[in-house]
Amino acid sequence: MKDILHAPFVEEMIDITANMYRLGWDERNGGNISVMLDPDEVAQYLDPDNVIRTIPTGFEAKPLIGKIFLVTGTGKYFRNIPKFPERDLGIIRIAPDGTTAELLWGYSDGGRFTSELPAHLMSHMSRLAVNPDNRVILHCHPTYTLAMNFVHPLEEKAFTHTLWEMCTECLVVFPDGVGVLPWMVCGNNEIGEATAEKMKQYRLVVWGMHGLYGAGKDIDEAFGLVETVEKAAQVYMLIGDRPRINTIRDEELVELGKAFGLDYRKDFLNL
């Protein structure tokens, strides 16, 4: 067997969590990531028949039975993952009953996956139904996006439109817009179900006064979506109440959509 600490999927998770902590998106133990792995690739590093222990997920995920995920641990600080990957990360497989996770590696201190795992699994199922290539669900607390929650209407059309106005790349990067949820108690199935419902339309979902969920075919795509929203939110918060002399007009967004051949939310424009 190859050394799993040098597996590309583990090294990428270590790099991205360290980067997210450095950016201030994941203070303390805030934020979580789950990545669906290729079983054949995993088999190069682990014996899939060696189940260390089983952990109830608190959610029935029958469509994901047999799927393998690399998941950040509950209560773990992203800043510590580079030092203690085997403690703070885990590789799990959804067991045949659909409600149990089989631990194949990690959580070496007796820990378990993030408390948001049900929300992740629900979102994975929603995104896979829309895009079979989806592999990643990422949750974090980007500073300017969070600040924007307090001074901007939490409504999908308005929120998306404002972000699209901030940077030319925004319409190109997330033409499907941004889903928005009001403040809800986190860590339960209710917010997971609400997020999964939004994920049927959006790859990005704002949790009001909490953070942001992103989905993608790989970590780069999910991370790129979040960092683009965060840049736009930063611009919005920097200009604040200053009078806007210039802006990207809706007619220009239409031109942009035509130039890039985008299938964007035309109903989110004010034309």
Kindly name the residue from 27, 60, 116, 230 that is annotated as catalytic. 116
Q: Whose CA is closest to 122, among 134, 106, 110?
A: 134
Q: What are phi and psi of 113, to 5 degrees?
A: -65, 165
41 catalytically annotated? no
CA distances from 233 to 102, 183, 197, 203, 267 (A): 39, 18, 24, 17, 21
Query: Between 117-130 and 189-198, two packed helices, what is the crossing angle to 10 degrees?
Result: 20
Phi/psi zone of residue 75: left (φ > 0), alpha (ψ -120 to 50 degrees), beta?
Answer: left
* Size (the chain), residues: 271
Asked if 90 and 71 count as a contact pair (C-beta separation under 8 A), the reply is: yes
Positions marked active-site: 116
